[in-house]
Amino acid sequence: MENIELSVEKTMVPLKVSVANEMVARYQATRKTLIDESFGINDTRSIWFSIDGIRNFINNLPVDASGVRIHLAAYTQDNEHYPNQTTVIFIGTAEKDGKDTDAMETNVLFDIDLGVLGPFNQGKPCPPVCGFFMDSFVEKTMIPIELSMAKEIIANYNSTRKTLIDETFGINDTRSIWVSLDELKSFINNLPKNANGVRVHLTVYNQSEQHYPNQTTVIWTGTLEQGYQTVDIIDKDGAFLSADKTMAPWTMGKVCS
C-alpha cells in the first residue's frame, strides 16, 4: 500500500478509494475482529450523521473555535439504542496556551459557551443498522449530550477497546482525532446538493505510514440516497460516486493516543 503524503499542517486530505478500502479492511481485520471476539458482539464499522445535523454543528461553532475533536467512545450495555457499540463524539475546540483544547480537558475555554462547542453524539452506527432508507429513519443525529455522559462513554471505550488493542498489538492506540474547523467546513460545504449525510469510517493506518503507523483513525465520506439505501463511495453499491471528487474519502486528522 502506498503511504499517504501530506503536509503536517493539513488535517483533511483526499484519499484514493483503493487506499481507503485497505484502511477500512485493516480496521475490520484487526480492531473489529478483536473486539467482536472479546465481547461477543458485532461491533461498529462506521457511523452516519445527517448532512443537516453536521452542518448545523460546524456552522454554529463560535468564531473562536479552532477545530473539532472526534473522541472514540463506546456506549454502555444499558444504552437504549445501541448497547455496547463503538461510536464517536464530536466536540469543538479552542486554542488555549498554544493547544487545541476541548471541554473534556478543561471547564474554561476563554468566554466560549461550552454548550455550543459540544459534546455532540447520536450518529447511526453500522452495525447494527446499515444501508438504511432515509424515510425509515426518524431518530435525530448530532444531538448535544451531557458532558458527564460523554466522559462516561469515552472512558468506557478507553477501558475496554483501547486497553484491549494496546495490549494485543503492543502500542498506545488512538483516543481521539482532531481536524481544523476550516478544513472540515470546506469538506462538508463542498458536498453536492443531493448529499444526505456523512459517514465516519473507523480505519487503521499501515505500519509504514509516516506519521501515525498502526494507529486507529477515521475516514470521512459523503453519502447519498441510491434506490432504497444510503451509500457512500466505499460501499460496493456506491462505486458510481468515484466520478465525483467531492464524494471522495478524506482522512488525516491529528491523532492523539
- Name the nearest CA neighbour of 121 among 159, 152, 77, 165: 152
Contact predicate 220/203, CB 8 Å: no
Please report, as a single letter, which amino acid is at residue 245.
Answer: K
Domain boundaries, the chain: 13-256
Q: Residues 221-242, buried b or exposed e (16+ Cβ, 10 A)?
A: bbbbbeeebbbbbbbeebeebe
Q: Which residue type occupies 249?
A: P
Q: What is the pLDDT of residue 94?
A: 81
What is the pLDDT at residue 1?
A: 30
pLDDT value of residue 84? 93
Nearest to 115 by CA among 144, 154, 156: 144
Under-50 pLDDT residues of the chain:
1-8, 108-110, 134-138, 243
Rounded (10°) CA dihedral 184, 185, 189, 195 = 40
The SS3 assignment for 139 reads coil
The predicted structure's pLDDT at residue 3: 36
The helix or strand, by DSSP H or E, that contains position 124, with its residue range, turns out to be: strand 124-126
Residue 147: the pLDDT is: 86
Residue 2 has a pLDDT of 34
Quote the DSSP letter at residue 110. Answer: T
Question: How far, in Å, CA of 17 to CA of 22, rounded?
Answer: 9
